[in-house]
């Protein structure tokens, strides 16, 4: 087989594997959105079987043969060509996949399907005890996985390699230290200089049945194509790509906390816009995938915060909001709403945190998951350790486990080491947004005019269309002129939260 | 390997194959209920890949080895034992599956996924022309399938073998002849003796948002376990088993046609009650499956008609209906509603047909699909042939293709030869219901008291729990004392529609 033929066959293999794997994504979406409770054990078995088959495909020895043929050819001589990118990333995935035992792959799929349900029920009932054994099992499997795939330094690195390839634990820790050093004093001074209003005007009754209708309108206005996607209600917000033309946002709404549902919408729409902008012709190959989970979070955090908390955005959205929810907003001006969505108040919930204290929530999770993974913290001891870190970093005490260590579903889904991608996303988002404004001019007026296309087109051109051509770090450097580093984030937060008194 | 070990391994193989196949069922459910339009091409590829993998499993040569070992042992000496039943049915499935080329399996999955969407859009737009080529493709694949699996006589027999194993085309034709000879004069005389009211009181506005709420209540009252199932809205009504503990009913509601949505609910609930009564411990083996598609339809038709049109049922349901929909029923008595749901009027729509003329709709479809399969009728000529047969058998003319040859989605889904199962279901249902009343006494008072358990318990004991232990025909004979034959159906219809003037 010549290299050209080998490359085509490689693409075919990769595409088929991705399609099969996308069936798992649908099963996961369904588990969160539709599946009746009685279906959970069967679902876990379905996931285990499919995960095993995806693994079989991902470790097919033909990959090795085909990759070797193409790697030795001139097809990969330009490192930025689709061929070179696809071969490079597929080689990495294949090697990693081959180190994973099939039994572990099946078991992880089965256990996380069950653990997710156990988490949802434990949170509903504020009953950490029933979840603790699942947490132990998930972390035990994660340890096995790290040991199987290998890592430099400590086990946590194995997951960083997956969620942000190229990033070392030491770099991440340095980033966290620098952010903490800047954000803690910033949060303190904002609290003194701009004390938040005593009551939050968005903590009023916003009719539950109207929130999804409003969410659809806003998602569409931001550019989400509803012919190629949908919005649903689930246990917790997420966005998933089932395939080209089928991107799904899942949200949860709260009758007395409008902002919680609404900013989750903006966040997930940010993810969805990335997924909808990927090239469908490249589907099933690295060139048709997002650069990294952390870069994906840069898009969600960008739309959530840099768009969603801007004056222009609210000039555009406030009249629509008022029309959809006239009762709770009858005595509330646009400026008051904007003040409410820009309050800086340390609180117990990550997903509701303001931009300034948000990364402190991530630091807490990073420390805890490292300790759980390393075996320094037992699952059963999580609530105490959680409370202690919240006290230390944010000065708050969660009222219960539901708003404490049971608030996030990531660990139950096996997403260990994922939390840092949010902070990386914040860092990248600030760099990208500044670069966008340097390139196309200030965006606030555009937002006020309902023009979100200028921004999304720039992102599509600079970021989305490249798939995995560059690592996230290389892409950020290429697009913004600087390697990833937090000064743009710190500057953006200082500027917006200190000066705009 | 000794026969006991071989049997256990066989069960494991079969269970894994079923679990994998159940992922396809979820993809199909999702395509009908949730998938955005843009996702259809990807969905077709997902289905093709999964169908191919299910086929690989179903033709695994280990089946043959294991089956041979067990077949030669004393484990199967009692033909009614679970071992004997499972081995007998698995042998049959394996042999049939091995005759199917893998390419054809993948292609059929792909094409029917696309054809279903094409059908839904064509129906929406009343645009048969765009659907005609899909119809041709589906029937061409069906011809290939029949030729691959083999048959005695004509190709249609290959599908009867699947939907009602043991039934010959000649027997089916004889059944249709006998029914037609009885039903046509019955319909005529009912029309003379009990002319339907000029207007249908259920063709009024029944608030669309309240219909699903009411449907849930009624499904639950009939015994559908909502912890192990759900109700959704889709293009057309169906019921699907995703797995034990996860049985899903899909319905469609009409604001100006309450009966259409409501009787579909009763129909699908009948299916769901069968599925929920199957033994979960036997899941993934023939002992945990319904006896045949035709027997499945006997359950849906039984609940739809013999329960759902009975006086007792309406004594129980009418007060609830009145509470849920006070406006359209303000001047309508229970007797009037019962009259409305028991009108005998030939019409163009199968799913809305009364019990007396229903089987004539099936005869029409049977003739047309035989002609399409045999190549005597071209897809493009279907609308004309359809109109002609409706004129001949029912004396009605469909106003358009939407209410004519585009009304049913079965063919687009590749369900060719399925329609006769409805008539077989009617025949079996009448026999079973008569046997139930012989065993437990008249049921009408029980229904009036909201007791549906007496009937469902009897069905569970006599029918559901046996899985595929008996063929449908053997089961009917065993339970009712007579082989399948239409006299109970004819007697039931004559009694109910002629005497109850």
Residue corresponding to tokens 């399925």: B418
d(CA B343, CA B210): 25
d(CA B346, CA A118): 53
Chain pair A-B, CB pairs under 8 angstroms = 121
Helix or strand holding residue A380 (H, E): none
Q: Contact B39/A225, CB-based, under 8 Å? A: no
Please say whether the beta carbons of B382 and B135 come within 8 A. yes
> Three-state secondary structure along A119-182?
HHHHHHHCCHHHHHHHHHHHHHHHHHHHHHHCCCCCCHHHHHHHHCCCCCHHHHHHHHHHHHHH
d(CA B31, CA B52): 19
pLDDT at residue number B70? 98
Residue of B nearest to A44 (CA): B19
Q: Contact A36/B228, CB-based, under 8 Å? A: yes
Token pair of A183 as six digits = 């954000």
Please say whether the beta carbons of A386 and A368 come within 8 A. yes
User: Rounded to a whole number, what is the distance in angstroms from the first to the last CA of chain B?
Assistant: 67
CA dihedral B387, B392, B394, B399 (to 10 degrees): 20
Q: With a CB-CB cutoff of 8 Å, which residues 174-233 of chain A face chain B?
A: 225-230, 232
pLDDT at residue number A186? 95
- Strand ordering across the sheet containing B238-243: B229-233, B246-251, B238-243
pLDDT at residue number B235? 85
User: Rounded to a whole number, what is the distance in angstroms from the first to the last CA of chain A?
Assistant: 67
pLDDT at residue number A198? 76
CA dihedral B357, B362, B365, B371 (to 10 degrees): -110
Tell me the pLDDT band of A501, cut-offs 50, 70 and 90.
very low
Query: How far B134 CA lies from chain A's nearest CA (Å)?
Result: 22
Sign of CA dihedral B428, B434, B438, B442: positive
| pLDDT above 50: residue B262 | yes
Count of residues for chain B? 501
A389: which DSSP letter? H
pLDDT at residue number A199? 79
DSSP character string of B416-485:
TT-THHHHHHHHHHHHHHHHHHHHH---HHHHHTT--HHHHHHHHHHTGGGTTSS-HHHHHHHHHSS-S-
Please say whether the beta carbons of B229 and A38 come within 8 A. yes
Q: Contact A245/B42, CB-based, under 8 Å? A: yes
Tell me the pLDDT band of A197, cut-offs 50, 70 and 90.
confident
Tell me the average pLDDT of chain B: 96
Contacts of A53 in chain B (CB under 8 A): 20, 53
Long-range own/partner contacts, residues A346-350 (CB < 8 A, 24 or more apart) = A346/A187, A346/A394, A346/A395, A346/A396, A347/A394, A347/A396, A348/A390, A348/A394, A348/A396, A348/A397, A348/A398, A348/A399, A348/A403, A348/A404, A348/A407, A349/A403, A349/A407, A350/A407, A350/A408
| pLDDT above 50: residue B177 | yes
Q: Please tell me whether residue B235 adopts helix, strand or coil conformation.
A: coil
Query: How far B286 CA lies from chain A's nearest CA (Å)?
Result: 17
d(CA A63, CA B69): 37
Token pair of B78 as six digits = 């009692």
d(CA B49, CA B27): 12
| pLDDT above 80: residue B31 | yes
Nearest to A36 among B37, B38, B227 (CB): B227
Token pair of A395 as six digits = 């000065």
DSSP character string of A436-488:
HHHHH---HHHHHTT--HHHHHHHHHHTGGGTTSS-HHHHHHHHHSS-S-THH
CA dihedral B295, B299, B305, B308 (to 10 degrees): 180
Token pair of B79 as six digits = 């033909």
Tell me the pLDDT band of B200, cut-offs 50, 70 and 90.
confident
> Three-state secondary structure along B364-425?
HHHHHHHHHHHCCCCHHHHHHHHHHHHHHHHCCCCCCCCCCCCCCCCCCCCCCCCCHHHHHH
The interface predicted TM-score of the complex, written ipTM, equals 0.95
Report yes or no: B95 at the A interface, CB cutoff 8 Å. Answer: no
pLDDT at residue number A216? 98
Please say whether the beta carbons of B303 and B463 come within 8 A. no
Contacts of B41 in chain A (CB under 8 A): 244-245
Backbone angles phi, psi at B420, to 5 degrees: -55, -20
| pLDDT above 60: residue A265 | yes
d(CA A42, CA B10): 19
User: Which of B242, B249, B288 is most worth mutating to test chain A (most A CB atoms within 10 A of its CB)?
Assistant: B242
| pLDDT above 50: residue A491 | yes
> Which phi-psi region, left, alpha or beta, contains residue A420 (left: φ > 0; alpha: ψ -120 to 50)?
alpha
Backbone angles phi, psi at B433, to 5 degrees: -65, -40
d(CA A133, CA A119): 11
pLDDT at residue number B499? 64
Tell me the average pLDDT of chain A: 96
Relative to beta strand B229-233, strand A246-251 is: unpaired
Q: What does the pLDDT average to over B481-497?
A: 96
A325: which DSSP letter? -
Nearest to A39 among B16, B39, B242 (CB): B242
Which candidate, A171, A496, A257, places its Cα nearest to that of A355?
Answer: A496
| pLDDT above 90: residue A192 | no
DSSP character string of A171-211:
HHHHHHHHHHHHHHHHHHHHHHHSPPPSS-TTSS---TTTH
Q: Please tell me whether residue B327 adopts helix, strand or coil conformation.
A: coil
pLDDT tens digits along B215-258 = 999 999 999 999 999 999 998 999 999 999 999 999 999 999 99
Q: What does the pLDDT average to over B265-286?
A: 98
d(CA A152, CA B138): 55
Q: What does the pLDDT average to over B173-185?
A: 97
Token pair of B381 as six digits = 């000529």
DSSP character string of A283-296:
TTSGGGS-S-HHHH
User: Which of B14, B28, B45 is most worth mutating to test chain A (most A CB atoms within 10 A of its CB)?
Assistant: B45
Q: Contact B26/A22, CB-based, under 8 Å? A: no
Q: What does the pLDDT average to over B34-43?
A: 97
d(CA B190, CA B343): 9
Q: What does the pLDDT average to over A429-445?
A: 98
d(CA B142, CA B159): 9
Token pair of A463 as six digits = 């970021």
Q: Contact A42/B16, CB-based, under 8 Å? A: no
| pLDDT above 50: residue B501 | no
Neighbouring CB atoms inside 10 A of B384's CB total 11
Q: Contact B22/A35, CB-based, under 8 Å? A: no
Contacts of B19 in chain A (CB under 8 A): 42, 45-46, 49
> Which residues of A are identified as catalytic?
268
Q: Contact B38/A246, CB-based, under 8 Å? A: yes
d(CA A138, CA B416): 46
Q: What does the pLDDT average to over A443-452?
A: 98
Distances, alpha carbon A309 to alpha carbons A197, A269, A324, A359, B440, in Å: 17, 15, 19, 17, 68
Q: What does the pLDDT average to over A124-133?
A: 97
Please say whether the beta carbons of A259 and B58 come within 8 A. no
- Counting residues of chain B whose pLDDT is more than 90, the rounded percentage is 96
pLDDT at residue number A191? 86
pLDDT tens digits along A18-38 = 999 999 999 999 999 999 999
Q: Contact A36/B226, CB-based, under 8 Å? A: yes
Q: Please tell me whether residue B173 adopts helix, strand or coil conformation.
A: helix
Query: How far B39 CA lies from chain A's nearest CA (Å)?
Result: 5
Query: How far B113 CA lies from chain A's nearest CA (Å)?
Result: 15
pLDDT at residue number B197? 79
Nearest to B20 among A22, A34, A49 (CB): A49
Please say whether the beta carbons of A434 and A480 come within 8 A. yes
pLDDT at residue number B196? 82
Please say whether the beta carbons of A176 and A423 come within 8 A. yes
Tell me the pLDDT band of B199, cut-offs 50, 70 and 90.
confident
Helix, strand, coil % in chain A, rounded to nearest 5: 70, 5, 30
Distances, alpha carbon B398 to alpha carbons B356, B395, B402, in Å: 19, 10, 9
Q: Contact A40/B245, CB-based, under 8 Å? A: yes
- Known active-site residue B154: no
Contacts of A23 in chain B (CB under 8 A): 23, 27, 46, 49-50
Report yes or no: B12 at the A interface, CB cutoff 8 Å. Answer: no
- Counting residues of chain A whose pLDDT is more than 90, the rounded percentage is 96
pTM for this entry: 0.96
| pLDDT above 60: residue B500 | no
Q: Contact B227/A49, CB-based, under 8 Å? A: no
Residue B347 makes CB contacts below 8 A (sequence gap 6+) with B353, B357, B394, B396
Residue corresponding to tokens 């988490």: A119
Residue of A nearest to B42 (CA): A243
Q: Contact B43/A243, CB-based, under 8 Å? A: yes
d(CA A408, CA A402): 9
Q: Of B268, B289, B304, B355, which one is the catalytic site residue?
A: B268
Tell me the pLDDT band of A499, cut-offs 50, 70 and 90.
low
- Find residue A231's DSSP bridge partners: A249
């Amino acid at each position: 087989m010549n290299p050209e033929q080998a490359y085509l066959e490689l693409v075919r293999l990769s595409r088929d594997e991705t399609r099969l794997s996308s069936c798992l994504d649908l099963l996961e979406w369904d588990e969160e959105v539709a599946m009746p409770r009685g279906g959970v054990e069967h679902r876990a078995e379905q996931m285990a079987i499919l995960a095993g088959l995806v693994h079989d495909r991902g470790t097919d020895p033909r990959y090795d043969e085909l990759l070797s043929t193409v790697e030795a050819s001139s097809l990969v001589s330009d490192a930025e060509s689709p061929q070179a990118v696809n071969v490079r990333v597929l080689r990495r995935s294949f090697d990693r996949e081959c180190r994973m035992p099939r039994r572990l792959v099946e078991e992880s799929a089965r256990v996380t399907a069950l653990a997710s349900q156990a988490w949802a029920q434990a949170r509903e009932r504020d009953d950490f005890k029933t979840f603790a054994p699942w947490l132990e099992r998930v972390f035990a499997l994660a340890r096995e996985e790290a040991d199987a795939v290998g890592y430099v330094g400590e086990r946590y690195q194995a997951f960083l390699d997956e969620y942000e390839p190229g990033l070392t634990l030491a770099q991440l820790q340095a980033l966290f230290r620098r952010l903490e050093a800047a954000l803690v004093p910033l949060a303190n001074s904002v609290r003194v200089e701009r004390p938040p209003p005593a009551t939050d005007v968005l903590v009023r009754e916003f009719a539950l049945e109207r929130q999804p209708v409003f969410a659809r309108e806003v998602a569409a206005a931001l550019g989400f194509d509803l012919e190629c996607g949908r919005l649903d209600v689930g246990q917790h917000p997420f966005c998933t790509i089932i395939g080209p033309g089928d991107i799904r946002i899942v949200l949860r709404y709260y009758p007395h906390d409008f902002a919680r549902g609404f900013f989750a919408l903006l966040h997930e729409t940010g993810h969805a816009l990335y997924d909808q902008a990927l090239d469908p012709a490249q589907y099933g190959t690295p060139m048709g995938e997002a650069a990294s989970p952390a870069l994906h979070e840069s898009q969600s955090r960008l739309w959530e915060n840099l768009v969603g908390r801007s004056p222009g955005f609210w000039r555009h959205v406030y009249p629509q909001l008022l029309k959809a929810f006239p009762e709770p907003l009858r005595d509330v001006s646009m400026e008051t709403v904007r003040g409410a969505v820009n309050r800086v108040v340390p609180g117990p919930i990550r997903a509701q945190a303001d931009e300034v204290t948000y990364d402190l929530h991530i630091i807490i999770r990073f420390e805890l998951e490292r300790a759980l993974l390393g075996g320094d913290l037992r699952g059963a001891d999580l609530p105490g350790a959680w409370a202690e870190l919240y006290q230390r970093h944010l000065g708050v005490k969660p009222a219960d486990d539901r708003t404490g260590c049971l608030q996030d579903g990531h660990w139950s889904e096996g997403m260990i080491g994922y939390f840092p991608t949010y902070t990386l996303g914040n860092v990248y988002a600030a760099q990208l947004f500044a670069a966008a404004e340097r390139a196309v001019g200030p965006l606030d007026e555009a937002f006020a005019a309902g023009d979100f296309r200028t921004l999304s087109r720039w992102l599509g051109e600079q970021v989305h269309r490249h798939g995995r051509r560059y690592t996230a770090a290389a892409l950020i450097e290429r697009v913004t002129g600087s390697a990833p580093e937090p000064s743009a984030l710190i500057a953006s937060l200082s500027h917006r939260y200190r000066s705009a008194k």
